[in-house]
Chains A and B, each alone.
Chain A
Amino acid sequence: MKGLIKKDFLLIKSNLKSFIVIILVFTLFSMKGEGFDVSFILPFIAIMMFISTFSWDEFNNFNAYAITLPIGRRNIVKSKYISAIIFIAIDTIIGLIISYLTTILSKNIFDIEAILSNLFGTILGLSIILAIWLPIVYKFGVEKGRIMLFVGVFAIVFLCATLSKLFDFTSLINFLNSLDKVLFIAIPLASIAIMVISYLISVRIYLKKEF
């Protein structure tokens, strides 16, 4: 299993340069703009990196070969989930470091609390998206999965926008804000729980899959 996680890391190197460029561009933005922090964008880059590893596996028929190795289907799926978590964790830490350095450089105050609460929301959102997306990819393949990801994210954004026009959520948001400390613990736990459920579904799909 460790081998497969290493493989996912080795696969990023092909688009590492473009990811670094994206990060640099956003770093410059965040130094100029107000209220925008670069650390917010890094988890998204982690997801893009992660999806690219799926594309390579599928594009070069690695999936059938992986079955012939002494790993087992369950562990093949597990390694992907672990890769996703490691990617997000590393990118988030890198984001925080860049964010810290840029605020110091531009002589602003590094408001760790505001950054973290934003980041936590992002990570929760991403784990929900990933948790839904991964079983879909295992079922339908990465190309269809990619389309569904776009359609899904678009649908969620559209739905939220519509709902926020129809109803007044200020009281809900205020309520959530009052739970600040609780959410600090609850959100990581919720993310983990969602990922575990998603993993169990993916394994069920993968155990039956033929290549």
Chain B
Amino acid sequence: MKNAIEINALEKKYDNFKLGEINLEIPSGLIIGLIGENGAGKTTLIKSLLNIIKPSKGKIKIFNNDSEEMELDIKEDVGVVLDNMFFQEILTPHDINTIMKDIYKNWDTTLFNDYLSEFGINFNQPLKTMSKGMRKKVEIATSLAHKPKLLILDEPTSGLDPVVRNEVLEIFQKFVSDEEHTILFSTHITSDLEHIADKIIFIDKGQIVLNELRDEIIDNYGILKCSLDSFDKIDKKDIICYKKNKYDYEILIYDKNKMNKKYKDFIVDRITLEDLMILIIKGEK
């Protein structure tokens, strides 16, 4: 399998925060979910990929080309949605089309129009009179209209209502049905990823703490629940981390089947990405 993105020993230092060192390979053809708390480094990582910020050290390759040397060629094939609104609010979708068709070689006005009609967006309406969700949809349509191979999306679904979120997720799924297409998608709405992500990358305090296929996470990790006084019966080496609640312990374990057999008196629950995130961030070791 080819890699859409390769990150080698990436580091970005700020006065009060450090991302990295990050080593990461993102295979093409997949939807990759980037999760983590606010301030964990998701946006810093995405901005480094897009040359918006300059890494303190390390190399990034996109489509097997150096992201700085081949910057413009790479960007012809990358679609982007940033976390903040980024079009001047007095512009209309029609204006955006006028601007973008001179920026991307492969800009497809018909495709852009199709997405907008699908989203029910009026062409000549200034962005400032649109709801936050509609503006996000204009941004998503823009990110797709030059037929990119890679979509890099920072919180594309935040602020969208569940119906629209589903529409958008469906479009993303359609986009990767072609094996060449890849999506890197950061979010803190982890339930989105449970539906569509093939792989989950979890960043905490500037470090990658988990990088696995979604199915493997769901199949292998589990939450073992035990009462306060039976906590000592659990083998310490089976505990990845745990959280003490008022009446019980929640323990993150790996290899659910094995644990089920080993601890017959306890319940091992299926894990959601949200549980996993909370346990890893808040749990004790």
Interface residues of A (CB under 8 A from B): 2-4, 6-7, 10-11, 13-14, 56-57, 59-62, 64-65, 67-72, 208, 210-211
Task: Given A11-B88, A60-B85, decide whether A70 and B99 contact each other with a Cβ distance below 8 A.
Answer: no
Establish whether residues A70 and B76, one from each chain, have CB atoms under 8 Å apart when the complex forms.
yes
A72 to B80, CA, bound (A): 15
Which residue of chain A has its CB nearest to the CB of B74?
A: A70
Q: Which residues of chain B (87-112) have a CB below 8 Å from chain A?
A: 87-91, 95, 98-105
Contacting residues, chain B, for A211 (C-beta < 8 A): 47, 52-53
Q: Is the CB of B84 within 8 A of A61?
A: yes
Asked if B78 is at the interface of the complex by the 8 Å CB criterion, the answer is yes
Residues 45-69 (chain B) with a chain A CB within 8 angstroms: 47, 50-54
Query: Within 8 Å of chain A (Cβ to Cβ): is B178?
Result: no
Does the CB pair B51–A67 fall under 8 Å?
yes
Contact among A62, A67, A71 with B52 in the assembled complex (CB-CB below 8 Å):
A67
- Extra inter-chain contacts (5) besides given A56-B88, A68-B82, A211-B52, CB under 8 Å: A60-B85, A65-B82, A65-B86, A68-B50, A68-B51
Judge whether A68 and B53 touch: CB under 8 Å.
no
CB-nearest residue of chain B relative to A13?
A: B90
Q: Which residues of B contact A (CB under 8 A)?
A: 47, 50-54, 71-73, 75-76, 78, 80, 82, 84-91, 95, 98-105, 152
Residue of B nearest to A75 (CB): B72
What are the residues of chain B within 8 A of A57 when measuring CB–CB? 88
Give the chain A neighbours of B78 by CB distance below 8 A.
Answer: 68
Q: Compute how far the CA of A71 lies from the CA of B82 in the bound complex, rounded to whole angstroms.
A: 17
CB pair B102 A62 closer than 8 Å: no
CA distance A3 to B99 in the complex (A): 4
Whole-angstrom distance between the alpha carbons of A208 and B54 in the complex? 8
A174–B220 alpha-carbon span in the complex (Å) = 89
CB distance from A15 to the nearest CB of B (A): 9
B98 (CB) vs chain A CBs: closest residue? A6
Bound Cα distance A211, B85 (Å): 14
Residue of B nearest to A71 (CB): B103
Chain A residue with minimal CB distance to B91? A10
- Indicate which residue in B80, B85, B88, B90 contacts A68 across the interface (CB closer than 8 Å): B80
Contact call B84/A10, Cβ cutoff below 8 A: no
Give bound CA distance, A56 to B85, whole Å.
12
Q: List 5 A-B contacts (CB under 8 A).
A: A3-B101, A13-B90, A61-B85, A67-B50, A68-B50
CA A13 to CA B53, docked complex, whole Å: 32
B46 to chain A, nearest CB (A): 10
Chain A residues in 8 Å Cβ range of B88: 7, 11, 56-57, 59-60, 62
Contact A10 B89 (CB under 8 A): no
Of all chain A residues, the one with the shortest Cβ separation from B49 is: A68
The answer for the CA separation of A3 and B85 in the assembled complex, in Å, is 19
**Pick the contact of A3 from B47, B76, B80, B100 — CB < 8 Å?**
B100
- C-alpha gap A130/B89 in the complex (Å): 26
State whether B99 touches A4 (Cβ < 8 A).
yes
Contact A64 B99 (CB under 8 A): no
The answer to whether A6 touches B102 (Cβ under 8 A) is: yes
With A14-B90, A60-B89, A61-B86 as contacts: A70 and B52 at CB distance below 8 Å? no
Instruction: Please name all residues of chain B whose beta carbon is closer than 8 Å to the beta carbon of A11 when the two chains form the complex.
Output: 88, 90-91
CB distance from B246 to the nearest CB of A (A): 43
Chain A contacts for B85, CB-based, 8 A: 60-61
Q: Which residue of A lies closest to B92 (CB)?
A: A10
A72 touches B72 (CB 8 A): yes
Shortest CB-to-CB span from A102 to chain B, Å, is 31
The reply to whether B103 and A70 form a contact with Cβ atoms under 8 Å apart is: yes
Give the residue name and chain of the A residue nearest to B146 (CB): A70
